């Protein structure tokens, strides 16, 4: 950390929310570039009282835990981390010649959060929901496009998916998606340009729904959470 010389107790929002007694010197909120390990530490610290979040969700379209944790604080931490063009995420960066994107696990707490790096090189993700969890994301490199869809009225008999919004996110942007907001898919603007995004899922989930539009039919599937790398090592 970059230290400043004071023993004054910090009174920023993060420290107040977590009832900490950090000095201003110790708190990362305002005065230095946040490292990836510090980001993980402070996300975990912010969720220490939230170990029951995973008991409140299910794979449906409308459940959400979004009022049960300090969402704005964690989005602020993601913004702070990404705003200084960090380099320490590079050790989790992975590209696969046959895949349009890779999913790379950085950190995981079974009841609190999952932190994942996604490396994009063209082509979209499936349209999907988030199984009742919040997905907070930060764009670390490049530009990505989100196509957002309205939640279907009948999740068991989906006849169409209507586009709700299309958003382009520049490097440094922080964004939120959950099942109250809608379904979505992500992709790069240019298949020849790479992009990298950092995703924090609160709480973690094991399965979600994906939606494959084929002609006039929509095929719904359950996708299990998998990773191309875990903690910097290729998954065999």
> Which residues fall in the annotated binding site?
128, 130, 184
Tokens linked to 117 = 């790096």
Element (H, E) at 155: none
Could you give the CA distance from residue 54 to residue 75 in angstroms, rounded to a whole number?
Answer: 19
Could you give the CA distance from residue 94 to residue 170 in angstroms, rounded to a whole number?
Answer: 21
DSSP 13-74: HHHHHTT---BTTT--TTTSPPPHHHHHHHHHHHTTT-TTGGGG--SSSS---TTSS-HHHH
Pairing between β-strand 113-120 and β-strand 101-109 as defined by DSSP bridges: antiparallel
Instruction: Please state the residue numbers annotated as binding site for Fe cation.
Output: 128, 130, 184
In this structure, the number of other CB atoms found within 10 A of the CB of residue 231 comes to 12
Residue whose entry in the numeric block shows the structure tokens 């999907």: 128
Could you give the CA distance from residue 158 to residue 151 in angstroms, rounded to a whole number?
Answer: 10
């Amino acid at each position: 950390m970059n230290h400043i010389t004071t023993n004054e107790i910090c009174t920023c929002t993060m420290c107040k929310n977590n009832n900490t007694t950090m000095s201003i010197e110790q708190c990362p909120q305002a005065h230095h570039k946040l490292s990836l390990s510090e980001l993980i530490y402070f996300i975990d610290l912010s969720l220490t009282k939230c170990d029951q979040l995973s008991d409140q969700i299910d794979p449906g379209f409308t459940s959400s835990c979004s009022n049960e944790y300090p969402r704005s604080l964690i989005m602020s931490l993601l913004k702070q981390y990404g705003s200084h063009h960090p380099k320490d995420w590079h050790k989790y960066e992975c590209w696969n010649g046959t895949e349009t994107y890779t999913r790379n696990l950085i950190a995981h707490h079974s009841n609190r959060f999952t932190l994942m790096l996604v490396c994009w090189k063209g082509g979209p993700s499936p349209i999907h929901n988030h199984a009742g969890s919040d997905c907070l994301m930060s764009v670390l490199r490049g530009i990505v496009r989100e196509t957002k869809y309205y939640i279907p009225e009948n999740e068991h008999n989906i006849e169409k998916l209507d586009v709700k919004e299309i958003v382009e996110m520049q490097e440094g942007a922080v964004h939120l998606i959950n099942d109250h907001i809608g379904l979505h898919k992500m992709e790069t603007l240019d298949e020849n340009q790479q992009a990298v995004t950092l995703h924090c899922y609160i709480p973690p989930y094991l399965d979600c729904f994906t939606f494959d539009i084929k002609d006039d039919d929509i095929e719904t599937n359950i996708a299990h959470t998998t990773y191309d790398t875990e903690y910097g090592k290729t998954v065999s």
